[in-house]
Chain A
Amino acid sequence: MKANCWMGKKRLEVQDVPDPKILNARDAIVRITSTAICGSDLHLYNGFIPTMEKGDILGHEFMGEVVETGPAVKNLKVGDRVVVPFPIACGACSMCQRDLFSLCENSNPNAWIAEKLMGHSPAGLFGYSHMLGGYAGGQAEYARVPFADVGPLKISNGLSDDQVLFLSDILPTGYMGAEMCNIQPGDVIAVWGCGPVGQFAIASAKMLGAERIIGIDRFPYRLRMAAEKAGATETINYEQESVLERLLELTAGRGPDACIDAVGMEAHGHAAVYAYDRAKQALMLETDRPIALREAITACRSGGTVSVIGVYGGFIDKFPMGALMNKSLTIRTGQTHVQRYMRPLLERIERGEIDPSFVITHHMSLSEAPRGFDMFLHKRDNCEKVVLTA
């Protein structure tokens, strides 16, 4: 089959590789019909996530048709149309039992590597380094889906791939980002990053009843999408105005009740700060550039919540712990527990409360994946989200 393989930093190749096989009794094989490129893939592409190997198949946002099931899979049959959640979760361990699926204790065969770095290992993820399992990803024609009796969501209602594909990751991620803000009547929510994840965080904050939602980015087309499609009531272009001043002004000095970081470890920023973090990152003195996170903590109102859904991989520098502590802030974060949100969000899509396909700007074939990555990375051609089809 064809698959999009990581061949080194900023080097991808669509190669012919062996077809996946059933390895465990609870596996299924899925023929992929749609698969997307995620902001998280850019961290791999740019070489910021350790333990990648030449030839690794990328991709963790995919859906398709079941073509084979292992002997222990009773809930799916050949021909079923399914969306696959990006964290691999067993459904039985103590984390899965608490609905913390992205922390599954049994799905990462390389847990020991992650334990050395983080103390404990999160779940295995599709196409996301060896430290997180060494699972082949879903930017391919077929994928092996472990624990197919737990994760995949059956779609049987005639909704299109474009409408349900993002249940695999970014819609639940944006939703969890907003849910972690514990939104109360009158709340003002600020969202750093108007990539696809930020768009869904904005749309979800709206669904959860936020009074006002402020989208922050530097690309006018992304800010426009946030205002026109996602439901932002205001937007801030951080290259044109001071985010902190503007937020104070918009909230009459209170600061946003909750701040969502939908940017993550590769944030961009004003010259001096950006250069400082770039330099430290290059020298390996920090692995992540926490520019948006620092700003979110400083901006957040006293007693407010900072919800971090942007991905961080390692260590950060100049973390404003003093602000966090003295303002009694709450930080909530995590890889998304996708399995927890898929069904309720599918119901919202069915009821017409949200149509996630609004973020898609480009469709391409799988063999054009490298071009799609380059375009998405450089935000060329007003690129917001690329969907690859078989």
Chain B
Amino acid sequence: MKLNTEQHALLEMRSITKEFPGVKALSDVSITVHPAEIHAICGENGAGKSTLMKVLSGVYPAGTFTGEIRFRGELVEFRDIRASEHAGIAIIHQELALIPELSVTENIFLGNEINHGGRIDWVAQKARALDLLARVGLDEDPDTQIKHLGVGKQQLVEIAKALAKDVKLLILDEPTAALNEDDSQHLLDLIRGLKGKGIASIMISHKLNEIEAVADRITIIRDGHAIETLDVHAGGVDEDRIIRGMVGRSLESRFPPRTPSIGDVFFEVKDWTIQHPQVPERLVAKGSSLNVRRGEIVGIAGLMGAGRTELAMSIFGRSYGNYLSGTIMKDGKEIVLKDVESAIEHGLAYVSEDRKQLGLNLLDTIKRSVVAAKLTKIAKAGVIDDSQEFGIAEDYRKLLRIKTPSVEAGVSKLSGGNQQKVVLAKWMFTDPDLLILDEPTRGIDVGAKYEIYTIIRALAAQGKGVILISSELPELLGMADRIYTVFEGQITDNIPATEANPEALMRSMTSAKKKANA
């Protein structure tokens, strides 16, 4: 089913160059997408993947970049997203653009309402919505408010919304980054199904196993240049091959070697019970107990919504839910962490899974973000020493290889993965004893992942404790010394890495049968 002639191409982007002040995000990038193919785009953080998709979808309007775009054989110049949607291109940012207070139906037809002279035809909309939901395999009442749906389902609503507009080309920017394995699988099946119905997709992802499984062809972007396009069906394309294209060399192993030097238990949480902030009957943590040894990396596995983040945040200065009972011991003494400030003072750090909402002030510069969680460290009598600040930010930029023209640049200008590195820097700067990492490698490329793993290992080797929350089981198995599993707010198991395997973890993550022997 190879289509090789240019005339048949669905999309051709030719010689696209896009510059930002001080940064050439794309230089002379060309890419061709055939009808009904799944075309993956891979590259390191900051390579220019999202920028390319924003150029294509009109987020950056014609005129703000150079090069030409042909869609279905015609030269197109999109002035905005609406124009590209009109042409049949829909982009789904990971940034879900749904309105939480509105229903599924309302969201699907937002800006595109079925109407008669301005009056919305609710009956027709609902019928159509049901039809679309069936197509994406989402079994929900179309009247449900979006805020009651999980991320995975919201993602499906987004796709339904795109289908409502009669889309020919679907762009998905890291669609599965926030999804668990089941939801990811469902989404990938859906994309495959759409391909069967003649809808092509462009998919950006750092999860190379998914790409390998689903993509027909893969274009690799490095430093703003399109390096190569691989044909998966031609054979010989595996994860290692993709990585070699992305970083220019092969990666011997995905995880840095273990150098375990595990000490005594220094941090303990006992019988931790937390109420949901709005629904008091719901306990998001039910008598959870866990402990961390010095130099130990403790993994927390659980399905989306199992309460891992809630548990972590409630430990971190009660920043989530209502505290009911439980104690925290550190170095043998009970500590009371009533707010985040005291948690930081006691050497805790929490790297949030949601960098944009919870991790960063997007209006701020990199330099100021890095020191934001512990200003007292660079201040005397409340006055900040800003010359120190610059040096510190520079150090972290080098250490974490944050890709930016200057640490004085705004964090909003960074690519997603690099923003994540800034968040990590911010918490490393607080010099914590216990670092809680919530999905720290979400949206991070393989090379940078390895760097982050190395840093986590180094922190542990210094005798710090690390709690690693992750939805990726390979990550937990590769990094953690011990893994707790969480199911519906309860810790169901506590497995040493040596005995852990995906099946055992999955079993404990999906049932409350065993009680933790912490």
A binds B: no
Q: Hey, which bits of chain A sit against chain B, CB under 8 A? A: none
